[in-house]
Chains A and B, each alone.
Chain A
Amino acid sequence: MCSTPVEALSLDAITKRFGELTANDAVSLSLNQGEVVALLGENGAGKTTLMNILFGQYTADSGTVRVFGETIPPGNSRAALDAGVGMVHQHFTLADNLTVQENITLGVRSLLSLRSDRAGARARITALSEKYHLAVSPDARVGALSVGERQRVEILKALYRDVRILILDEPTAVLTPQETDDLFATLRLAIADGLSIIFISHKLHEVMAIADRVVVLRHGKMAGGVRIADTDKQALAAMMMGTEATPPKVAKSTPGAALLELRNVTTPDVGNAPGLRSVSLALRAGQIIGLAGVSGNGQAAMADVVGGLVSPAQGQVLLADAEVNNWTPRAAVQSGIARIPEDRHKTGTIADFDLTENAILERYKSADFSTRGWLNWGKSRAFADAIIDKYDVRCPGADTPIRLLSGGNMQKLILGRVLEANPQVILANQPVRGLDIGAVNYVHSQLLAARDRGAAVLLISEDLDEVMALSDVIHVIADGRLSPAFDRGQMTPAQLGLWMAGQGFEDEVAHAS
């Protein structure tokens, strides 16, 4: 090509910190007109933060955003939109009770203008939908549409506003393979007309299929940027997961008896996330079992089953070889299962309760903390003080509302709360997400110590490095299915990455047939 490409979008050295966490560390990305750049990375790698900075939801600590050469003022949510950048979110932003046409035209004209050109708008929508093969009736109510159709409405909405840059956040997460092919056909037509696209995904084969270039984020840093022509799936997986393996300073362990077992457990889907699909898993004494996988592939269902929040629709849960009935959170706690929830702010603690009240949250009914319906605040307070002391929870005192604590200290309280009950089984769901490095090491050392004491630990994490560093055995979960068990060191990150993308399962099926 002889003509210099026009630069449509340029994010230059964007840095954004949230407290101790650096979500974006000098991330740069450029997009030329008519080009598709894929933004690849695990959950928590900083993709969403970067897009929120582009749209002014967050203000970057440093760095600049330029659209067609114009600098976008930071923190102004209209600026990017007005400059012709549109976004199709993972969770659609449509009004269910309005028609397709009403949704598309919503917010385009001033509320105060009296004229309404419905016929003209309709003609334009029809023309756009024919041109780009986005079949959808303008009069249909959005609430009655399928997920794939709603996505078409979102794209039409963007095209109707004459966007020149379109950002698609995990657009295929909700689509069937057939719908994905249709979407790609539409995107190619739009690209031919000069649209530039940022395609956010963690599905490698789709990135290979649609993108011209790919930018990989890892832990908020740029892990690489390559042309698709110069790379392959394995190289991308390695780049996304990281090849530099943290040296495992974990001694080998001898697994004991199965303390908790799932046999052919199936659970219903939760919203867009799949439930478990006939999963069998044994948690053995003295072992850390790591569960790797891309977010939203059944990890939540797994945590819910082990934690007692969900009973299997099919299959059994066995505790020390005895099947459990009436499986509730309280039953799980009483059976000696320590549960470290994924979201310590919303699920693990009650923000306005003080440390004492939070410390007894799971066991306030036990004889340790209450008698015949009356709480013993003295004992409760002593328990909280003991946790604060032993687990080094930095706080002004046990009567402090827990919302005043940092994430790491909050997690230490949760750790103390569950570990002080001498649990047999530990469910650690994303135990270090959002923590600073000191707290991460502390939590990991506690989990290892519990393992060495003879507890069975199920470590659920989207951070493959963490799973590989700590686990004696690794399973991969993808679309609710569980991979075979891989021993420590058996698989490379890239190989696990392929399983996470669902490849291994397909191979298995292929072998079987």
Chain B
Amino acid sequence: MRLEPIKNPSLGRKLVPPALALTTTIVIASLLAMLAGANPFSVLGLILKGAFGSQFALLETLNRATPLIFTGLAVAVAFRAKFWNIGAEAQLYAGALMTVLLGTGFLPWPSAALLPVIILASILAGAFLLLIPALLKTRFGVDEVVTTLLFNFIFLLFISMLLEGPLKDPMGMGWPKSARLIPEARLPRIFEGLRLHWGFALALISAVGVWVIQTRSTLGYEMRAVGLNKQAAAFAGIPINLVLVKTALLSGGLAALAGFSEVAGLKGSLTLDLSPGFGYTGIIVAMLALLNPLGVVVAALFVAGIFVGADSMSRAADVPTYLADIMLAVALLLMVLAIMLARFRVVRD
């Protein structure tokens, strides 16, 4: 048995496997819900209702999707150029750190001046953090999967050190947590009285921005060329190392915005549990979106919906929230399989 590439897959071949992947995910989730002693239909219904069924649920899902859009974009941008950034988690914290450094009174400016500065500084912090693995790769050929992954642990420990030391909030009753942002450094809500903050709008703008860069700019063209065929790109005169460094800067900056948006829009201060693995989940989001920046928004809403919905379902149906993790893992694995089935056919010898 072997796989044979399909030169020109039909529309059906492109659409049916992902649809099958989604259906199979739901079937497997239902079986697990039954194992947990619940009615699968009511469990799925509860997840759907918990994620999108009310204004509160919907806003909760949008808020949860916001950091996932940023990290998903960061991963999608990098993976498109075959630069394997597994370190969105660390870059997220770099953005959050910069937000806290500048936003807790160090710059006593009005919002209109302060927020743009913080946003820019956060982007630079995340970009700088990914610049190091990028240079190690382009100069010395060090595998970026290893460096970016390990940077996550190093940087989280560094944050932990700061929160136990110089950044520790004196009013924090001994908890490892930073001081709160001054009101001018907080992202306002989009609608008066609703919990949704401007970070979500920023995420949508970023997604469109990345899409425009990828499809219309010479940089996006270079990134795609390098990702698809380094040899041909080099022959054509595309400076591969420079493109990889630019890609890293863009990717790191996007991931950092997740940290900024979480601190300035939602939490108001930096703690070690700021991100429940948004950086890693960003990889799932990007893969589900097939690395398409606009698809990232949809995938992030899907993933956030499952998480938020599972939380609420768990309370109502007494099924563990682990179901959400399993659903995501299954969805990802099946999606990868679906992508393969869309491009290859199985031939029996």
Among residues of B, the one whose C-beta sits closest to the C-beta of A396 is B8
Q: Please name the residue on chain A nearest to B229 by beta carbon.
A: A350
Cβ-defined partner of B221 (8 Å) among A341, A364, A403: A364
With most chain B CB atoms within 10 A of its CB, the pick from A350, A362, A377 is A350
Complex contact A349–B232 (CB within 8 A)? yes
Task: Confirm or deny: A118 has a beta carbon within 8 angstroms of a beta carbon on chain B.
Answer: no
- B23 at the A/B interface (Cβ < 8 Å)? no
Most buried by A among B8, B224, B235: B235
Query: Are A353 and B228 touching (Cβ within 8 A)?
Result: yes
A341→B235 contact, CB < 8 A: yes
B219 at the interface (CB under 8 A from A): yes
Interface of B is mostly: helix
Residues of A within 8 A of B234 (CB): 309, 329
Which residue of B217, B235, B236, B349 is within 8 Å of A373 (Cβ)? Answer: B217
Inside 8 A of A351's CB, which chain B residues have their CB? 228-229
Q: Closest 3 A-B residue pairs measured CB to CB?
A: A329-B237, A330-B237, A361-B236
A positions within 8 Å CB-CB of B: 75, 307-309, 328-330, 332-333, 339, 341, 346-353, 357, 361-362, 364-365, 370, 373-375, 377, 403-404
Assess A350 versus B237: contact at CB under 8 Å? Given A357-B221, A373-B217. no
Against A, the Cβ 8 Å flags (1 = close, 0 = not) of B322-349 are: 0000000000000000000000000001
Pick the contact of A350 from B216, B217, B218, B233 — CB < 8 Å? B233
User: Does B237 lie within 8 Å of A352, measured CB to CB?
Assistant: no
- Interface of chain B residues 218 through 253 with chain A (CB within 8 A): 218-219, 221, 224-225, 228-229, 231-237
On whether the beta carbons of B349 and A346 are closer than 8 Å, the reply is no
How far, in angstroms, from A469 to B177 measured CA to CA in the complex?
80
B240 to chain A, nearest CB (A): 11
B216 touches A375 (CB 8 A): yes
- Interface residue B7 (Cβ < 8 Å from any Cβ of A): yes
Q: Is the CB of B229 within 8 A of A364?
A: no
Q: Number of B residues whose C-beta is below 8 Å from A? A: 19
Q: Would A373 and B7 count as touching, CB distance under 8 A? A: no
Determine the distance from Cα of A309 to Cα of B228 in the docked complex, in whole angstroms.
19
- Chain A residue nearest in CB terms to B222: A364
> How would residues 192 to 233 of chain B score, 1 for a CB under 8 Å from any chain A CB and 0 otherwise?
000000000000000000000000111101001100110111
Judging by beta carbons under 8 Å apart, are B219 and A361 in contact?
no
Does B228 contact A352, Cβ atoms closer than 8 Å?
yes
B342 nearest CB across to chain A (Å): 14
Residues in chain B near residue A353, CB distance under 8 A? 224-225, 228
B7 contacts across to A, CB distance below 8 A: 403-404
Q: CA A85 – CA B118 in complex, angstroms? A: 70
Q: Are B216 and A374 in contact (CB under 8 A)?
A: yes
Chain B residues whose CB sits within 8 angstroms of the CB of A347 once the complex forms: 231-232, 235
Complex alpha-carbon distance, A225 and B73, angstroms: 64
A384 to chain B, nearest CB (A): 14
Q: Are the C-beta atoms of A329 and B229 separated by less than 8 Å?
A: no
Beyond known contacts A361-B236, A373-B218: 14 more, CB 8 A cutoff = A329-B235, A333-B237, A346-B232, A347-B231, A349-B232, A350-B229, A350-B233, A353-B224, A357-B221, A364-B218, A364-B221, A365-B218, A374-B216, A374-B217
In the bound complex, CA of A348 to CA of B231 (Å): 9
Between-chain CB contacts (< 8 Å), 22 pairs: A75-B349, A329-B236, A329-B237, A341-B235, A346-B231, A346-B232, A347-B231, A347-B235, A348-B232, A350-B225, A350-B228, A350-B229, A353-B225, A357-B221, A361-B232, A361-B236, A373-B217, A374-B216, A375-B216, A375-B218, A377-B216, A404-B7
B237: chain A residues within 8 A (beta carbon): 308, 328-330, 332-333, 362
- Contact in complex: A375, B217 (CB < 8 Å): yes
Contacts of B218 in A (CB 8 A): 364-365, 370, 373-375
- Which residues of B are found within 8 Å of A339, using beta-carbon distances? 235
Interface code B88-103, partner A: CB below 8 Å = 1, 0 otherwise?
0000000000000000
- Contact partners of B232 in chain A: CB under 8 A: 346-350, 361
Q: How far is the CB of B123 from chain A (nearest CB, A)?
A: 18
In whole angstroms, how far apart are the Cα atoms of A422 and B112 in the complex? 54
Residues of A with C-beta under 8 A to B228: 350-353
| A307 lies within 8 A of B235 (CB) | yes
> Measured between C-beta atoms, what is the minimum distance from A335 to chain B in Å?
12
User: Which residues of A sit under 8 angstroms from B219, Cβ to Cβ?
Assistant: 373
Question: A348 — which chain B residues lie within 8 A by C-beta?
Answer: 232, 235
Bound: A357/B218 CA distance, A? 11
Q: Which of B2-47 contact A (CB under 8 A)?
A: 7-8
B236 contacts A346, C-beta separation under 8 Å:
no
Complex Cα distance A87/B217, Å? Answer: 51
Tell me, in angstroms, the Cα distance from A309 to B229 when the chains sit together. Answer: 16
B229 touches A362 (CB 8 A): no
Query: Which residue of B has the minimal Cβ distance to A339?
Result: B235
Complex CA distance for A168 and B191, rounded to whole angstroms:
77
Least distance between B217 CB and chain A CB atoms (Å): 6
Report the minimal beta-carbon distance from A426 to chain B, rounded to whole angstroms. Answer: 16
Residue with the greatest number of chain B CB neighbours at <10 A, chosen from A339, A352, A361:
A361
Q: Which residue of A lies closest to B225 (CB)?
A: A350
Chain A residues near B225 (CB-CB < 8 A)? 350, 353, 357, 361
The CA of A75 and the CA of B2, in the complex, are separated in Å by 13
B87 to chain A, nearest CB (A): 27
B250 to chain A, nearest CB (A): 13
Shortest CB distance B79–A (Å): 15
Q: How far is it, in angstroms, between the C-alpha of A365 and the C-alpha of B218 when the chains are bound? A: 7
Q: Which of B221, B225, B233 gathers the greatest number of chain A CB atoms within 10 Å?
A: B221
Q: In the assembled complex, which residues on chain A have CB atoms less than 8 Å from the CB atom of B8?
A: 404
Alpha-carbon separation in the docked complex, A420 to B231 (Å): 23
Chain A hits for B236, CB < 8 A: 329, 361-362
A314 vs B216: C-alpha distance in the bound complex, in angstroms? 41
Q: Provide the residues of chain A in CB contact with B217, threshold 8 Å.
A: 373-375
Q: Nearest chain-B residue to A372 (Cβ)?
A: B218
A364 to B225, CA, bound (A): 12
In the complex formed, the residue of B with least CB distance to A417 is B236
Determine the residue in chain A with the shortest Cβ distance to B8: A404
A40 CB to closest chain B CB (Å) equals 32
Assembly CA distance A75 to B348 (angstroms):
13
Q: Which residue of B lies closest to A75 (CB)?
A: B349
Chain B residues numbered 307-335 whose CB sits less than 8 Å from any CB in chain A: none
Cα-based distance from A368 to B234 in the complex (angstroms): 21
Which residues of A have CB within 8 Å of B349?
75
Contacts of B224 in A (CB 8 A): 353
Please, which residues of chain A bring their CB within 8 A of the CB of B233? 350
In the complex, which residue of chain B has the Cβ closest to the Cβ of A358?
A: B232
> In whole Å, how far is B10's beta carbon from the nearest beta carbon of chain A?
13
Q: How far is the CA of A375 from the CA of B219 in the complex (A)?
A: 9
Minimum Cβ distance to chain B for residue A97 (Å)? 18
> How many angstroms between the C-alpha atoms of A309 and B231 in the bound complex?
11
- The residues of B that contact A309 with a CB separation of less than 8 Å are 234-235
Rounded to whole Å, the gap between the CB of B306 and the closest CB of chain A is 31
Chain A residues whose CB sits within 8 angstroms of the CB of B216 once the complex forms = 374-375, 377
B221 touches A375 (CB 8 A): yes
* Docked complex Cα distance between A377 and B349 (Å): 45
A241 and B8 CA atoms in complex are apart in Å by 40
**Residue of A with least CB distance to B232:** A350
